[in-house]
């Protein structure tokens, strides 16, 4: 299992011949498995369906499946949509970033309650958002409108 600082990860991955992506992470399948049958990854070094998700929610979602896999019970993770919530008192943010390779544009609105930025793909589908200040209360409303799953 890999969950190491990037420099150490690079050395381990090179030694084991794990396929490493340009952003210093390895692609994993839904069972946390790398391209090698007995090597798993979780955390900052894991790329999930083309997305690097370096925060706690993907680790929490993947940990039970990883434990099952390590115990010989192959299990796939069902990742929910996982927004990032930055809980600062001066400028709270709620983010659901679009996939890095997605084409589209941002629609940005400012109000006295905060900023709402929506990422609309080329098919006119909502694929990501950023909400600031009081608009963070809209998180579930916008998550319900995203049709993408990991």
Q: Is residue 75, in this structure, part of any structural domain at all?
A: no
Kindly report each contact of residues 133-137 with a partner whose C-beta sits within 8 Å and lies 24 or more positions away, as own/partner: 133/91, 133/92, 135/94, 135/111, 136/85, 136/92, 136/93, 136/94
Q: Are residues 62 and 10 in the same domain?
A: yes
Q: What's residue 6's pLDDT?
A: 53
pLDDT at 36: 82
The CATH code of the domain that includes 114 is 3.30.390.120
Report the CATH number that the domain containing residue 54 is assigned in CATH.
3.50.50.60
Task: Show pLDDT as tens, one digit a residue, over the chain (150 residues).
Answer: 545 455 666 677 777 777 776 666 777 777 888 888 888 888 877 888 777 777 888 889 889 988 998 898 988 888 888 888 898 999 999 999 888 788 999 999 999 999 999 999 999 999 999 999 999 999 999 999 997 555
76 part of a folded domain: no
């Amino acid at each position: 299992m890999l969950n190491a600082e990037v420099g150490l990860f690079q050395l381990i991955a090179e030694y084991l011949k794990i396929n490493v992506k340009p952003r210093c992470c390895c692609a994993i399948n839904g069972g946390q498995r790398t391209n090698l049958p007995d090597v798993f990854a979780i955390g900052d070094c894991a790329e999930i369906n083309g997305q690097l998700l370096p925060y706690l929610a993907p680790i929490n979602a993947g940990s039970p499946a990883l434990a099952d896999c390590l115990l010989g019970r192959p299990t796939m993770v069902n990742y929910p949509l996982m927004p990032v919530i930055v809980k600062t008192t001066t400028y709270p943010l709620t983010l659901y970033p679009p996939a890095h390779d997605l084409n589209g544009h941002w629609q940005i609105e400012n109000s006295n309650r905060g900023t709402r930025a929506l990422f609309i793909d080329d098919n006119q589908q909502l694929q990501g958002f950023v909400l600031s200040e009081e608009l963070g209360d809209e998180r579930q409303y916008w998550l319900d409108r995203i049709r993408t799953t990991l």
